[in-house]
Structures are given as C-alpha cells and as structure tokens.
C-alpha cells in the first residue's frame, strides 16, 4: 500500500480508537486543567481495531480541552512504518529508515518492539514544523521533536508529510540551527484558530493538532 492508501485506511479505522479512548479515559473530564493553568495531563496507550490495525496513542488534557494523537504502525519486509493522522491537515508518514534509527535507542528497554514504538510516539507526537531547504526542495520541512528532528517533505497533492530521516539533537542543531526554543510555544500555538481550507491547504503551523475528544455529559440519576 502507498502512504496515501494507508492514510485513507487509517482515517476509516480511527473511529474505533476514538471510541476506545472515550470509554477508557472518561475520568479526564474531571482531571483536565482549567483554562488559566499551563499544566498538561498526558496519557498513552495502544489499541488493536477489529480490522487488525495496530495503534498507539497519546491523549492530553490542557486548558479545558482533551486531544487524541493517534499513530498507526505496521511492519513489512522493508521494516516498520508509521502514520500519524489528525482531524485537519496532512497525514505524517514515517518511512522505515526513520523508525530504524529512532527505535534502536528504545528496544533494549522493557516492553520490546511495542514499547519502543509507544516511546517513539510519546516523544514525537507534538512537533514544531519549519520550512527548510533539504535537498533543494521548496516543500521540505523539518519537525522539531523532544529527542531531535525529523526531516522530509510535504507531498501536497497527496496530503502527506513524508518523513525520510531522523537527526539527534547534536547533529540536528548543527544542520538546522537554533530551532529548539520553539518547542516551548507548542501548546500555545494549538490555541490559535486557523481557517479550514482542506488538508492540502492547511498551514504548517496548524499541522499535527490531533483529534478533539468530547466526552458525553453524565446523566443525572433518576
């Protein structure tokens, strides 16, 4: 399957994950920090859909809002692939080379491959995107993450951000300069509204915002 086909399949399947989150994390309604707080409550988990698709996810509660960040992963003879999807904007595809370089640092820990993929998403779901001149492509972007940088390009016609490689903090700072200070603005940037124009035309400052989670109000006892 092509990345575009995987993204389509993931969006058709993600409803099952969203329902799972609603049932398992309903207590976040009471734990969600108020709008005047800068605290972020973060949880993670994994889920297998009825179609056999494998998901890992992060769910956050911040300033009165709960957000789900889903990542679909699958293995082929080439290695492990991953796809992060969001309610708006392009999907984010991580080719096996990215996962291979990144997961090696986690595979020795408890949890094996599944645990390593969960750690990858935990340290990667929340990014700051910046245009770059990688290989002279005007659609190239670098994404700053907790553990370093991922690099790729925006395949606008497919609504896919195709990540091709990973840089650690030391090498990435030499390659891209001082971008890491932008990480402290990640949560605030999510509160800025943008005009919805479709996945292909979503500005890069609004990529990766996940899915809003709305819990049904509890019914009063009869």
Specify the DSSP element, H or E, that contains 58. strand 54-62
Q: How far apart are CA 138 and CA 157, in angstroms?
A: 14
Q: CB under 8 Å to 14, separation ≥6 — which residues?
A: 55, 70, 85, 211
The SS3 of residue 107 is coil
pTM over 0.85: yes
Between 15 and 62, name the one with better pLDDT: 15
Q: CB under 8 Å to 76, separation ≥6 — which residues?
A: 96
Output the six-digit token pair for 118: 């969960």
190: region left, alpha or beta (phi > 0 left; psi from -120 to 50 alpha):
alpha
Contact in structure between 123 and 52 (CB atoms under 8 Å): no
Helices within 133-211 (DSSP H only)? 169-176, 186-189
pLDDT digits (tens, 9 = 90+) for 63-80: 888 999 999 999 999 999
Output the six-digit token pair for 214: 């709305």
Q: Where are the domains of the chain?
A: 3-213
Tell me the Cα Rg of the chain.
Answer: 17
Q: How far apart are CA 117 and CA 94, in angstroms?
A: 12
* Portion of the chain with pLDDT greater than 70, in percent: 90
Q: How far apart are CA 126 and CA 30, in angstroms?
A: 23
pLDDT digits (tens, 9 = 90+) for 119-176: 889 988 999 898 887 666 678 999 998 888 999 999 999 999 999 999 888 998 888 8
């Amino acid at each position: 399957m092509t990345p575009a086909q995987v993204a389509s399949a993931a969006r058709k399947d993600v409803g099952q994950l969203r329902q799972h989150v609603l049932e398992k994390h309903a207590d976040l309604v009471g734990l969600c920090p108020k709008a005047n707080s800068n605290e972020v409550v973060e949880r993670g988990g994994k889920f297998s859909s009825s179609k056999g698709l494998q998901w890992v996810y992060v769910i956050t509660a911040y300033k009165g809002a709960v957000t789900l960040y889903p990542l679909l992963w699958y293995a082929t003879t080439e290695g492990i692939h991953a796809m992060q999807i969001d309610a708006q904007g392009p999907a984010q595809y991580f080719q096996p080379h990215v996962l291979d370089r990144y997961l090696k640092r986690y595979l020795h820990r408890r949890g094996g491959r599944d645990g390593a993929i969960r750690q990858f998403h935990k340290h990667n779901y929340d990014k700051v995107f910046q245009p770059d001149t990688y290989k002279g492509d005007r659609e190239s972007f670098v994404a700053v993450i907790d553990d370093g940088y991922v690099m790729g390009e925006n395949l606008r016609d497919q609504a896919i951000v195709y990540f091709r490689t990973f840089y650690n903090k030391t090498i990435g700072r030499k390659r891209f300069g001082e971008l890491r200070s932008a990480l402290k603005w990640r949560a605030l940037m999510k509160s800025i509204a943008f005009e919805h124009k479709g996945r292909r035309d979503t500005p890069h400052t609004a990529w990766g915002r996940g899915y809003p989670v709305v819990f049904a109000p509890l019914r009063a006892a009869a």
